[in-house]
Amino acid sequence: MSLHVLASLVFCLSVSRLKYTHGESIAFGKLAKQSSTYIANRRYYYLAYPASQAINPVYWMTGSYTNYGNPSWWEVDLRGYYSISNITLTAAYNGWHTYMANAYVEVMDKDISLCSDVKVEWCGNVSSTVASGEKFNFTCNATFPIRFVRVTRRTTGNNYLGIGQVDVQGVGATKRYRSYYTPTTNRKVSIPSLTTSAVTAGQCGILCHQNHSCIDFSYSKTASTDANCLLSNKEVPQNSVANNAWTMYTLNNCL
């Protein structure tokens, strides 16, 4: 899909319906979920539209799609803390573009399904009419580091939420320095984003804090001193394997 140049300024908390050029989305490859997932019953097979498709450019024509609900929502965990410059929603091209109408965008520092003290910043609303493939650009004014981006659609009754693509632009932000990790013995992350060294598990945790994309880490007393601290920005426990020499530390989402 071709990208176009943004031809006008976008005011804070406003929506631009113009196309523009930008860098790679920081949401790409991260953990996305939604209130429910629509599964189409074809004649010979079933076709699902999971939340992950809205951040994967391969599915730019169809994206993600929920079942009936109120509210219906979509969310991505950026697996790190960021200062967000803008968020772009693109409507689907498969005839479901109308199911993004009146959806609104918010950013949060914590998992709203788990935590009671979440900081939330409202970024703006999609218009009541949406064309196929139309882009809506939002600029957020959050003064705190962002980890979650959520799109919500509320109606007077049950309805769907369909999103072609979600693009998030931003840079890494400094996290609060707190070390509330849940340890799991005899496991380690299998796909580290950084392999480094640390004298203690606490020092490995400090290195994780200093790396804005790090969410979880693993430490071993007996591994090579050059590679005994593994930092990860990917989903755990899916990104983990059994290993008796290691302990895996998973970040508490309510920090």
Q: Evaluate whether 191 touches 235 at the Cβ level (below 8 Å).
A: no
| 215/14 Cα distance (integer angstroms) | 31
What DSSP state is assigned to residue 69? B
9: confidence class by pLDDT, cuts 50, 70, 90: very low
Q: Name the amino acid, one letter, at 249.
A: Y
Per-residue pLDDT averaged across 18-38, rounded? 80
73-83 pLDDT, tens digit per residue, is 999 999 888 99
- Mean pLDDT for the stretch of residues 27-38: 94
Say if residue 98's pLDDT is above 50: yes
Kindly state the tokens that stand for 157.
Answer: 């009754």
Q: Is the peptide bond before 71 cis (omega within 30 degrees of 0)?
A: yes
Number of helices and strands in the chain (H, E): 1, 17
Class of residue 4 by CB neighbours under 10 A (exposed 0-12, middle 13-18, buried 19+): exposed
Q: What is the mean pLDDT of residues 56-69?
A: 95
- The residue-averaged pLDDT of 116-127 equals 92
pLDDT tens for each residue of 133-184 = 999 999 988 999 999 999 999 988 899 999 999 999 999 887 655 556 789 9
The pLDDT assigned to 2 comes to 35
pLDDT of residue 173: 83
Task: Average the pLDDT over each of 38-42, 88-92, 232-236 and give the range with the smallest value.
Answer: 232-236
Three-class secondary structure of residue 211 per DSSP: coil
Q: ∠ CA(57), CA(61), CA(62), 5° rounding?
A: 100
Phi (first) and psi of residue 190, to 5 degrees: -95, -20
Mean pLDDT of 18-30: 70
Name the pTM for this structure.
Answer: 0.71
**Residues sharing a CB contact under 8 Å with residue 26, sequence separation 6 or more, in sequence order:** 78, 82, 168, 169, 170
pLDDT interval class at 124 (50, 70, 90): very high
Query: In order of start, what are the domains of the chain with their CATH numbers?
Result: 15-172 (2.60.120.260), 181-251 (3.50.4.10)
The three state secondary structure string of 151-210 is: EEECCCCCECCEECEEEEEEEECCCCCCCCEEEEEEEEECCCCEEECCCCHHHHHHHHHH
| Cα angle: 166, vertex 251, 23; to 5 degrees | 30
The residue with tokens 């599915």 is 59
pLDDT at 70 over 80: yes
Q: What pLDDT is attached to residue 104?
A: 97
> Span 16-20, mean pLDDT?
34
pLDDT for the residue 62: 93
241 token code pair: 């394997």
List Cβ neighbours of 24 (8 Å cut-off, separation of 6 or more).
Answer: none
pLDDT digits (tens, 9 = 90+) for 199-219: 899 889 888 877 767 888 999
Q: Which of 55, 73, 72, 54 minimizes the C-alpha distance to 64?
A: 54
- Angle at the Cα of 53 (from 47 to 54), degrees rounded to 5? 130
Indicate if the pLDDT at residue 23 is higher than 70: yes
